[in-house]
Structure 1
Amino acid sequence: MQRSFAFPIRSQSRTRSLRVLVACEFTGTVRNAFLDRGHDAWSCDLLPAENGSNRHIRGDVRNFLADGWDILIVAHPPCTRLCRSGRRWLSGPGNMTPPKKLPKGRTWESMKAEFEDGVDLFVSCWRAPIDRVAIENPEMHDLATARMPKDLPRPQIVQPFWFGHPEYKGTGWYLRNLPALQETERLGEPPKDSEEWKAWNRVWRMPPSAARGKERSRFFPGMATAMADQWGGYALEQFHLEAA
């Protein structure tokens, strides 16, 4: 398959850098956190890079999984049909039967197609020929779980306020050969129903709009920094031990 970009040749310096692919990211937040630590990091998304970065691959990540990466991070894959909140749209009586009512403008066939594509994307990334994988996704409903690989663990659920961001957004990480993220700057939580607490729930309180999905997918820089430090550091430590 022809490509319109070329990966740079890895430096032959004594300090090893990691080849990191950050999938389903158009903002570059996670990619840049790894770049700032000297790694050969790229983002990949169907959307163009928000800032026009030349470190961005526009396309389906499934076409690039075998390109020799050390770490794959799937930052915000489409999860509407896999997460528990989407279960009601996939089953009337029995399993995978039309519900009584579909979302406005949608067909049952399109809902099923989105579910199948979501399953395929997740499984393809989990089974990618890459040693270390982290996939962000909420806990899944039973229909999605039944289609997942047998070795898939339960996700680690973290919150943005563990990493210095005054917000609530439970973020699940499915991890293969990477350690659980450790909090770096935990903030004290505001009193429930206070104005500050409402502000912390900004993500869930966003009104419907054409840009809502895009805005909700924006990543948290503090969490990205923790990922680059902790997962990048862990991978480098493993390479050092293997070389010793």
Structure 2
Amino acid sequence: MSKSLKVLVACEFSGVVRRAFASRGHDAWSCDLLPSEDRSNKHIVGDVRDHLHDGWDLLIVCHPPCTRLCRSGRRWLSGPGYMTPPKKLPTGRTWDSMKAEFAEGVDLFVTCWRAPIDRVAIENPEMHDIAKRHMPADLPKPHIVQPFWFGHPEYKATGWYLRGLPRLVETNRLPEPERGSDEWKRWNRVWRMSRSANRGHERSRFFPSMAEAMADQWPGDPDSVTIPVSEPIQTQLFAHEAAA
């Protein structure tokens, strides 16, 4: 086995990824605002940004808040011009709260990407154009994988932004079911979930088979990692700040 690494798995309460790395002899910890479901003593309850300077070899950010950064969230940030209120906001939300949520998502992503850690993997969908304008210049396009590439019968395109890590190689691609069949509907479980208080919680559960592939493929040789240099991101998040 390759050298044991000190691994931080952020935005994970289930412990799935942490356990996959721990089972291979790595010193793996998880971190989330929620307590760990498995009550592990290797789980940090708190903001991952407070723990990025603790000597980690590998940072994996599994489910950071992406609602305002992903393409599906752009309509809520797109009135006339750039970053202006849309004609209609989600029920119960204000424009100020939407801006704050967007800024928080940007800060979390960029802070983790710039962490002083050799290997970084951040899970996030393809970003919309507004979000991209606030990302580091060295951010690559996301590496998109599917759970069924790793033996899990489900559709959920998962984007990985990788620094110092290779792209995941599929390990057990399953044949896809016929579109519209009952099996196909089961594979689309994530997208067919009814709205509820626990919907986001359940959708953020990680796939064990993909976690196993990550634990097998991402450790490697820490001395061979090349760290790209990040450029400063734009600090002006909103159009009105230009005139302030």
For 1:9-20, list aligned pairs within 5 A.
16-20=3-7
Deviation at residue 51 of structure 1 after TM alignment: 1.6
Q: Percent identity?
A: 75
Residues 65-91 of structure 1, C-alpha deviations (whole Å, 9 max, x = no match): 010000000011010000000000011
Partner of 2:146: 159
Q: Distance in 2 between matches of 1:235 and 1:53?
A: 28
Instruction: Report the counterpart of residue 93 of structure 2 in structure 1.
Output: 106
Q: Does 2:36 match 1:49?
A: yes
Return the letter of the residue paired with 1:68: G
| TM-aligned CA deviation for residue 94 of structure 1 | 1.1
Cα pair distance change 1:77/1:15, threshold 3 Å: closer
| Bigger relative CO (Cα 8 Å, ≥ 6 apart) | 2
Structure 1 portions without partners, runs of 5+: 1-13, 240-244
Is the 2:118–2:222 contact (alpha carbons within 8 Å) kept by the matching residues of 1? no
SS in 1 for 2:185: helix
1:220 to 181, 184, 207: 207
* 1:81 alignment partner, SS class: coil
Calculate the TM-score normalised by the size of structure 1. 0.90
For residues 1-244 of structure 1, what are the structure 2 equivalents within 5 Å? 16-232=3-219, 234-235=220-221, 238=224
**Distance 1:105-1:235 versus aligned 2 partners, 3 A rule:** farther
The superposition leaves residues 20-61 of structure 1 with CA deviations (integer Å, 9 ceiling, x where unpaired) of 000000000000000000100000000111121111000000
**Distance across 2 between alignment mates of 1:69 and 1:145:** 27
CA distance in 2, matches of 1:117, 1:215: 22
**2 CA distance for matches of 1:95 and 1:87?**
11
Aligned residue pairs, count = 225
For the residue of structure 2 that corresponds to 1:116, the secondary structure is: helix
Structure 1 residues 195 and 127: alpha-carbon distance in aligned structure 2, compared to 1, 3 A threshold: same
Aligned counterparts of 1:45 and 1:66: Cα–Cα separation in 2: 16
Backbone CA RMSD of aligned residues: 1.4
Hey, what's the Cα distance between the residues in 2 that align with 1:84 and 1:103? 16
| SS, match of residue 218 in structure 2 | helix
Counterpart code for 2:60: I
Partner Cα distance (1:15, 1:119) in 2: 34
Distance 2:152 2:81 in 1: 41
Give 1:153 shift.
0.2
Give 1:157 deviation, angstroms: 0.3
What is the identity, as a one-letter code, of the residue corresponding to 1:121?
Answer: L
Q: How far did 1:17 drift? A: 1.3
TM-score, normalised via structure 2 length? 0.90
1:152-189 CA-to-partner distances (Å, cap 9, x unmatched) read 00000000000111000000000001000000010000
Shift of 1:236: 5.6
CA distance in 2 between counterparts of 1:237 and 1:170 reads 31
CA distance in structure 2 between the aligned counterparts of 1:101 and 1:176, rounded to whole angstroms:
38
Name the structure 2 match of 1:5. Answer: none
1:15 Cα deviation from its structure 2 partner: 7.6
User: Contact 2:9–2:18 (CA<8 Å) still a contact in 1?
Assistant: yes
